[in-house]
Amino acid sequence: MLLTLSAFVLALGLLITFHELGHYWVARRAGVSIVRFSVGFGPVLLRRRDRHGTEWALSAIPLGGYVKMLDEAPPDADEVTRRTAFNAQPLSRRAAVVAAGPVANLVLAVLIYAFLGLWGTQEPAAVLAAPPAGTPAALAGVQDGDVLRAVAGDPVASWPQARWRLAGPLSLGGRVALTLESANGTVRDETVELPSRDVAPNDPDPLEAAGLSLQAPYPVAGELVPGGAAEQAGLQAGDRIVAAGDLDRPSVEAFVRTVQAHAGQPLRLTVLRQGARVSLSVTPRPETGEDGRTIGRIGALIQAERPQVLVRLGPLDSVWQGVRRTADMSLLTLRMMGRMVLGDVSWRNVTGPVTIAEYAGRTARIGLESYLGFLALISISIGVLNLLPIPMLDGGHLLFYLIEALRGGRPLSDRARDVGLRLGLGVVLGLMVLALFNDFSRLFS
C-alpha cells in the first residue's frame, strides 16, 4: 500500500510539475512576469525569490504544482510592468505559453522512451504459441513456435514492441501483415484479418482473442533439495526441461502435474544444458498431498523462464523511437476517444486516480523500466487530454485564441467566454465523476 501511494504521488507530482515547467519556460522567454512557481499545493513550506522576482515555493501537498503569472497589470502599474502582463502579449505568444504545458508532457514521454531505448531493456522474445482454431491468427497460418519479426513491415525485436505495433490494428480492425520466422528458420509473410471490435476494460486481451499470444514459459530447474530425487537423477540448477515422458515442451503446470502423477515411477526427462540436450530418468518420491492423495515430488524448485532479448538502440534510433512511440500513442488515444464518442468503445475505459495509483504500484513493483514506461504513457495522456478543445483545459484556451484570430484579433466577449468556461467546467466535472465511478466500480466488483 505504501509503495502504491508513493509511486502514485511521485508520478503525479513529476508529470504535473513538468507540465507547469513547460508553461513557465515559454512564458519566461515571451517576457511574461511570473509571480510564483510552486511544487505542490496548499500551505507553503519553503520559498525563495529569484532575481526576476519569481517566488519559488515548496508546498505541503505534493500532487503536482502550478505556475502563477501576472495575468493583468494593476491600474497603478508602470509601463514596464504593463508590458510583462500575460493579457498584454500578442496572440501568438499567449498561444505558445498555453500550448507549452501539454507539449512539455509529450516531450517528456519522448525523452523517457529515448532513455529506455538507449539504456537497453530485457524483454520477452516474440515467440508465438499455437493459435486456437478459428481465430484470425489460426486462419492466417500462424504456427506454434513462430517468431514475430515484423508488423506491417516495421521490424519488432520483442513481444512488447509487437504489442505496440499491433495496438492500432487491433482497436480499429483491418488487414495487417506479419513477418514470421518458423522454428526451422524459414521466413514468410502472413496477413491477419482483424475485425473491428468494441473495447471494454473487462474484455479478454484483444491479442489473445485474435490468437496471438506468447508460448508458455519453459520449466527450469532452480534450487535442488540435497539428496532429493532430482539431484540423484543428475538434474542441475539451470536445466531447461524440454520434454517429460510423452510431453514435448511442457508448460510449468503440465510438468508439475506429470511429476505428481508418476509417484514411484521412472519419468524420462530431456533437458537443455548449456545448449546441449541431456536425457535423464528421475523417479518422483511418493508423498501425501494436502488432500490426502499420494503424489510424486522430485525435490526441485521449478521456475518459469521465457526467452529474453536485450533491446538496445543507438542515440539517434532511441530518439526516433521516442518520437514515434509518443506520436503513435497520441494518435491511438485520440482514435479511442473518437470511438468512445461514437459508442464503439465503452465509457468504462475512462479511469481516474484510483486506477492510476493501482498501475503505478504494479509497475513500481516490477522494476524501474516498467515504471518509467508507465510514466511515459500517463504523460502522453495528460498532454493529449489538455490539448482537447474543451474550455477549462489548455486546448480550450487555444480554441478561444483561434476564434480571436479568425475574428481579426477581436477576442470573444466576456459573456461568451464565461459561458464557454461554464460548459467546459461541466464537461470536466462530468468526466471526473465518471472516472471515479468507474474506479470504485472496479474496486468493489
Domain ranges of the chain: 92-120+312-445, 123-215+306-311, 218-302
Average pLDDT over residues 151-172: 86
The band of 197, judged by pLDDT with boundaries at 50, 70 and 90, is low
How many C-beta atoms surround the C-beta of residue 426 within 10 A? 13
Q: Which three cell numbers stand for residue 45?
A: 513550506
Read off the pTM: 0.78
Q: Do 123-215+306-311 and 218-302 have matching folds? A: yes
Query: What's the mean per-residue pLDDT of the chain?
Result: 88
What's the maximum distance between 2 C-alpha atoms anywhere in the chain? Answer: 97
Q: DSSP letter string over 120-168? A: -EEEE--BBPPPPTTSHHHHHT--TTPEEEEETTEE--SHHHHHHHHHH
Average pLDDT over residues 212-228: 89
Residue 382 has pLDDT above 80, yes or no: yes
The pLDDT of residue 113 = 95
Q: In what helix (H) or strand (E) does residue 240 lie, and over which residues does it extend?
A: strand 240-244
Tally of CA atoms within 13 A in the half-sphere of 404 that contains its CB = 19
Which residue matches cell numbers 486456437?
132
List the one residue out of 102, 103, 95, 106 whose CA is nearest residue 399.
95
Average pLDDT over residues 154-163: 89
Tell how strand 300-305 and strand 218-224 pair up. Answer: antiparallel
> Percent of the chain having pLDDT more than 70?
98
Quick: pLDDT tens for 11-62.
988 899 999 999 999 999 999 999 999 988 888 899 999 888 899 999 888 8
Topology of the domain comprising 218-302: Pdz3 Domain (2.30.42)
Beta bridge partner(s), residue 199: 345
> Which ranges of 201-314 would DSSP assign to H, the alpha helix?
206-209, 229-233, 252-261
Q: Which three cell numbers stand for residue 425?
A: 467546467
The pLDDT of residue 344 = 72
Residues 20, 123, 290, 305: which is the catalytic one?
Answer: 20
Q: Which amino acid is at 137?
A: A
Average pLDDT over residues 303-324: 89
Task: Compute the distance between CA of residue 360 and CA of residue 63 in angstroms, rounded to an integer.
Answer: 14
List the one residue out of 321, 218, 316, 214 whose CA is nearest residue 273.
218
Residue 348 has pLDDT above 90, yes or no: no
Topology of the domain comprising 123-215+306-311: Pdz3 Domain (2.30.42)
Q: Which three cell numbers stand for residue 130?
A: 499455437
The pLDDT of residue 2 = 80
- 55 carries an active-site annotation: no
How many C-beta atoms surround the C-beta of residue 428 within 10 A? 17
CB 409 within 8 A of CB 400: no
